Structure formats: C-alpha cells, structure tokens
C-alpha cells in the first residue's frame, strides 16, 4: 500500500460546512456532539452578507428527538427561540371552501381487531352519526380547545396517544445552535466562498477559497449553501429533478406580524385561489406567508392576499422567495453531502423542512465515512434520502389533488393533474377498499393519510367487509365512550398560554420520552 492509499483510507480529519442557517448549524451541532471524541475538526463558513431563507418555523415531533440527542434542555431551547407548542396543522378550504380539519400528531381512535379505526367511524357516519373524525383524536380536541399538556409516559393510557412539536423562530434556533457548537470546538469562519479546487484524478473537493484569499482544505464537505448548491451543483454537477408539474407553487412571500396573548397550539394552512397561506404563532410574533404558483397568480396579487389576511400589524417588509420544487439527483456526490435547501426543496405545507435536514444529518452520522468516501455508504445514503423525499412529495401532492374545488384555474389544474404512479396506486386502493397502502419507508403513516383523505372528502367506495361483523350499536357505543373520555381529559388540561408561562419550571417529562414518531405511544389504550 502506498502513502496516498494509506491517507485515503484513514478517518475524516476535517469537516467543512459551507453555509450557516438552520441546516449548517444543525449539522455542526450534531457532528460535534454525537461524534465527539474522534479528534475531528469542524469548520463552518458563512457570511453575514448572505441572508438565510428562514421561513420554515413549524416543526415535527422529531425535532424533540434531535434536541434530546444533543443534550439540549427543552425549556432553555424554548426560551431562546420564542417557541410555542404545536399539536398539528389546521387545513382550511382545501377540500371545499369553508371546510377545515386538523392533521394531528396522534392517531384516531384505535384498531378494531386489526382494522383501522376509520372503518368503524365511516360505518357510524353512514348510519347518521353527526360527529367529525377529529372528535376521536385527543390532540385535535386539545388544539381546538387551546389546551396543552405533555403526553403521559405510560403507553397504556389514552393520554399517551399523541405527540407534540414546536413553532420556533428558525433564525433564533440557528443562533442557539451556533453558541452550542462553538462552545464544543466548532470553528466559525466569516467569509464568502469564491472558488473551489478539486482533485484532478477523482474529482473530490480538496479546497475552498474565500473572498479574502484564505484557503480551507477539508476531507468531507457539507453543502448548506441554500438553493444555489454552491458545492453539490455548481461544482459537482449532481443534477436536479424538477417537480413543478406535480407541485406548481414556485414562490412565497413572508411577513411577520405582532403576536397575540393566546397563541393557538397548531399551525394554520389556509388554501387560497392560487396557493395557500401559513400562520405560525410564536411567543414574540406570528409568522405569515403566502405560497403560490406564479403561472396562476402575480406577485402583486399574492402580496395583497397575504396583507389582507394578517392578524396584526406587520413587523417587517415583505420577503419574496423564488424556489424550484424538486430534489438533487445525488444528495451525496464524491466527498460532498448536500443538506437543507441545497439538497432540494419541498414547500412547507407539512412542516418537513427542518425534519429533512435532521434526517440527512442523522443518516450521515449513521453512514459516516472515512476519507475514501466508501461508495456503498454514499449509495445507501442517496437511496434512503431519495425515498424519504419522494414519500413526502406524494403526501404533499395529495393535499392539492384530493379536492372538489373548481373555483380557479389553479385548482382545476391540481385536481386533474397526472399523479406519480406510487400515489395513484395508493389512492385507487384506498378508494376501492378503504385501506391505506403502507410504504416500507417514509415519514407519514396511516393516521396522517386518513386525516387528509377524510378531511378533504376523499372517501372509499366500500369498507372492509369484516367491519360488518360488529353490531352497529356496539360500534356506536365504543365511539361515544371514546369521545367522552377525550372530552374529559381535555377539560382537565391547562390552557396553552398557561403551559407556555410555566416553561421555566417544566420538568423533563415532556421530552425524556421523545421518540421518532408523529403519533405518540402507538398501541396505547383507546
């Protein structure tokens, strides 16, 4: 073995992160914490002159797991980021104008001898039940009532059947993680990267050159440079798969406004004529934005719609963002891994932005390479990230396609578009049998699909015939008992603003048992 081969096969000595923001500082924080003790240097390059997007402020419960892995105290995190609790997302006007439902971090009811709860619910509905699906979900009822309590640690009880996330100021979160990382040895380098030098033999990135002339060499480079993909695309030409034909929204306008004393514990996503508006309540402000399709709506019209819907005085000038929905064909190419917007973009309809960053970081930790950048590790990382992103893509398309709206060219386009084969199969199977096809990989499981399908009036033509074995009166009695139990539990919970006021005294019960689940302790008693 020659000297070059020996070097190539050694451990990674220097990780260089190109870009800050949420993606860059989450990557830095995770690597310096989870991989501590390897003698590895981490340098993050960012410039104060380059702004960050910073519109994704609603999160998924998985962020609790991420913070827990890093040893971050939940109350400290919440105070530093102006965070509020989140139990789900309210979708208004998606199936029909005037409709509204909540996609919760929790299940609906419980299985009936292996059959999904929705079979029992739909049979009762067909018999004249006046109650909505959300009345059988603890987090939906908590959200509607403006209540919040931590999930019970006992997986056998009803109060364990939900999870929670946060609304968080992403710029403050990045600042919080920067301090966390720098105290653990991460070196921040101010500057703009103006050129990249590659190994002439294998194409690996060896050096990035800053505007000042400083040269920074590395073994592994993480591209967190945003939409431009400075390393992964401009240098390595990884390629980009455009999904505009499925997800036509390509612009967003964001405006923060003054907060309210009683912020709701859920995100709001309201469908508009050519897109949708978000509303994200923080302790110190409300995040507002309008995601829209420029083929169907002008920037001026989009801004007018957003301003008209602000719940309070604006706190800043509008921030216009242009994006191309899709994914990088290779998230890991050569010795460079793209994380965040450099790896692709999916609109924040289901709050997946920070989750996909977190997922990529944890997969990189799991498959952390040596300097040789073992191809099998790279290929498995790319396969898994592609699968995860495509599953999210299918779920987002469902929101637009499963609609009865025909009041604008945008909605006519979405309702009639040609679906990806994977989503087409899933929808046809549900409509024919009432069953949700299970993906082997993917973030959103059956309860999420049921929330959106039924919430947007996509109903099966028939139910599983096994549900007919149960007397209707028995099913109705069980449904009513569950509804009453949920009502009593919610009534006993503190209001959301009271829970926030006690953040300084919250014990760790709420996050000690954090798990990689949207739905709380599955299998709990219902």
Average of per-residue pLDDT across 188-205: 97
pTM: 0.94
Q: Provide the pLDDT for residue 110.
A: 86
Task: Tell me if residue 86 is catalytic.
Answer: yes
DSSP summary character for residue 435? P
**CATH superfamily of the domain spanning 84-168+392-512:** FAD/NAD(P)-binding domain (3.50.50.60)
In terms of phi and psi (left: phi > 0; alpha: psi -120 to 50; beta: otherwise), the region of 143 is alpha
Q: What is the mean pLDDT of residues 379-395?
A: 97
C-alpha triplet 420, 375, 185: angle, nearest 5°: 100
Tokens of 203: 């194409």
% of the chain residues with pLDDT over 70: 94
Question: Cβ of 317: how many Cβ atoms within 10 Å?
Answer: 7
Contacts of 179 (CB under 8 A, 6+ apart): none
Nearest to 39 by CA among 17, 12, 16: 12
Q: What is the mean pLDDT of residues 53-72?
A: 86
- The pLDDT-based confidence of 372 (bands split at 50, 70, 90) is very high
CATH superfamily of 13-57+169-242+325-373: FAD/NAD(P)-binding domain (3.50.50.60)
Residue 7: is its pLDDT beyond 80?
no
Structure-token pair, residue 452: 């959106």
Q: What is the SS3 assignment for 262?
A: coil
- Joined together, the tokens standing for residue 415 give 């309702």
- How far is the C-alpha of 421 from the C-alpha of 398, rounded, in Å? 13
pLDDT at 516: 57
Whole-number Å distance between alpha carbons of 12 and 368: 9
Assess whether pLDDT exceeds 60 at residue 504: no
Q: What is the DSSP letter of 95?
A: S
Q: Where are the domains of the chain?
A: 13-57+169-242+325-373, 84-168+392-512, 251-322
How far apart, in whole angstroms, are the C-alpha atoms of residue 230 and residue 388? 23
Tell me the per-residue pLDDT of 121-130, one tens digit each, with 9 for 90 and over.
999 999 999 9
What does the pLDDT look like over 99-110, one tens digit per residue? 999 999 999 998
Residue (of 22, 5, 82) closest to 354 by Cα position? 22
Provide CB contacts within 8 A for 468, sequence distance 6+: 123
Instruction: Count Cβ atoms below 10 Å from residue 413 Cβ, excluding itself.
Output: 15
Q: Say how far apart CA 278 and CA 269 lie, in whole Å.
A: 5
Q: The sheet that has 14-18: what strands, in order across it?
A: 187-190, 41-46, 14-18, 220-223, 336-338, 332-333
Alpha-carbon distance 240 to 344, whole Å? 8
Least confident of 48-57, 279-288, 369-378: 48-57
Whether pLDDT at 523 is above 90: no
Average pLDDT for residues 408-437, to the nearest whole number?
A: 96
Q: Tokens 């028995």 correspond to what residue?
A: 474
Flag the least confident range among 52-66, 229-243, 281-295, 317-331: 52-66
CA distance 208 to 471: 70
User: What percent of the chain stands above pLDDT 90?
Assistant: 88
Q: What is the pLDDT of residue 5?
A: 43
pLDDT for res 265: 98
Instruction: For residues 470 and 158, give the distance between their C-alpha atoms in angstroms, rounded to a whole number.
Output: 23
Give pLDDT, residue 506. Answer: 40
- Strand 84-86 vs strand 165-167: parallel, antiparallel, or unpaired? antiparallel
Whether 84-168+392-512 and 13-57+169-242+325-373 are alike in CATH topology: the answer is yes
User: Please, which residues have CB within 8 angstroms of residue 409's CB and are 6 or more apart in sequence?
Assistant: 296
Q: Residues 177-184: contacts with CB within 8 Å, 24+ apart?
A: 177/22, 177/25, 177/26, 177/28, 177/29, 178/20, 178/25, 178/28, 180/29, 180/33, 180/70, 180/72, 181/25, 181/28, 181/29, 181/32, 181/42, 181/44, 184/32, 184/33, 184/36
CA-wise closest residue to 432 among 464, 408, 390, 400: 464
Catalytic residue among 86, 363, 393, 426: 86
Would you state the pLDDT for residue 507?
Answer: 42
Q: Is 42 in contact with 17 (CB distance < 8 Å)?
A: yes
Task: Please give the backbone phi and psi of residue 188, each rounded to the nearest 5 degrees, phi first.
Answer: -95, 130
DSSP for 328-353, written as a single string: ES-SEETTEEE-GGGGEE--GGGS-H
Average pLDDT on 87-100 reads 98
Q: 455-475: per-residue pLDDT in tens? A: 999 999 999 999 999 999 999
């Amino acid at each position: 073995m020659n000297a070059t081969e020996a070097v190539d096969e050694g451990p990674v000595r220097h990780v260089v992160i190109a870009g800050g923001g949420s993606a860059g500082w989450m990557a830095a924080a995770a690597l310096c914490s989870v991989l501590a003790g390897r003698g590895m240097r981490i340098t993050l390059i960012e410039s104060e002159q380059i702004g960050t997007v910073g519109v994704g402020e609603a999160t998924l419960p998985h962020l609790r797991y991420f913070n827990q892995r890093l040893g971050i105290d939940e109350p400290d995190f919440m105070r530093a980021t102006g965070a509020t609790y989140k139990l789900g997302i309210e979708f208004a006007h998606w199936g029909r104008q005037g409709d509204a439902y909540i996609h919760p971090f929790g299940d609906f009811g419980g299985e009936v001898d292996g059959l999904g709860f929705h079979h029992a619910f739909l049979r009762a509905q067909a018999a004249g039940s006046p109650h909505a699906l959300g009345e059988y979900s603890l987090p939906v009822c908590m959200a509607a009532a403006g209540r919040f309590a931590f999930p019970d640690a006992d997986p056998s009880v009803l109060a364990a059947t939900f999870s929670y996330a946060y609304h968080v100021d992403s710029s403050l979160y990045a600042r919080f993680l920067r301090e966390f990382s720098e105290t653990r040895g991460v070196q921040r380098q101010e500057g703009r990267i103006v050129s990249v030098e590659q190994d002439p033999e294998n194409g690996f990135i060896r050096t990035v050159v800053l505007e000042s002339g400083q040269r920074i060499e590395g073994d592994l480079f993480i591209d967190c440079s945003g939409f431009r993909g400075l390393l992964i695309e401009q240098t390595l030409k990884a390629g980009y798969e455009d999904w505009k034909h499925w997800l036509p929204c390509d612009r967003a306008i964001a405006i923060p406004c003054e907060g309210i004393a009683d912020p709701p514990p859920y995100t709001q996503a309201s469908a508009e004529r050519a897109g949708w508006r978000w509303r994200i309540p923080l302790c110190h402000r409300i995040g507002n934005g309008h995601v829209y399709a420029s083929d169907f709506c002008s920037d001026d019209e989009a801004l007018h719609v957003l301003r008209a819907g602000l719940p309070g005085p604006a706190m800043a000038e509008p921030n216009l963002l242009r994006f191309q929905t899709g994914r990088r064909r290779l998230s890991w190419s050569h010795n460079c891994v793209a994380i965040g917007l450099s790896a692709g973009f999916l609109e924040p309809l289901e709050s997946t932005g920070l989750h996909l960053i977190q997922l990529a970081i944890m997969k990189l930790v799991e498959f952390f390479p040596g300097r040789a950048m073992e191809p099998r590790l790279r290929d498995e990382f790319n396969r898994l990230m592609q699968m995860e992103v495509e599953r999210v893509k299918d779920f987002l398309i469902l929101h637009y396609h499963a609609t009865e709206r025909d009041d604008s060219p945008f909605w006519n386009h979405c309702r009639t578009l040609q679906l990806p084969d994977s989503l087409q199969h899933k929808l046809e199977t549900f409509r024919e049998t009432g069953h949700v096809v299970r993906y082997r990989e993917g973030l959103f499981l059956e309860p999420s699909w049921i929330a959106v399908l039924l919430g947007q009036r996509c109903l099966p033509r028939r139910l599983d015939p096994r549900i007919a074995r149960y007397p209707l009166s028995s099913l109705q009695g069980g449904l009513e008992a569950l509804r009453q139990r949920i009502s009593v539990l919610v009534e006993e919970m503190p209001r959301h603003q009271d829970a926030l006021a006690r953040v300084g005294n919250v014990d760790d019960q709420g996050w000690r048992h954090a798990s990689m689940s949207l739905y709380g302790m599955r299998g709990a008693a219902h």
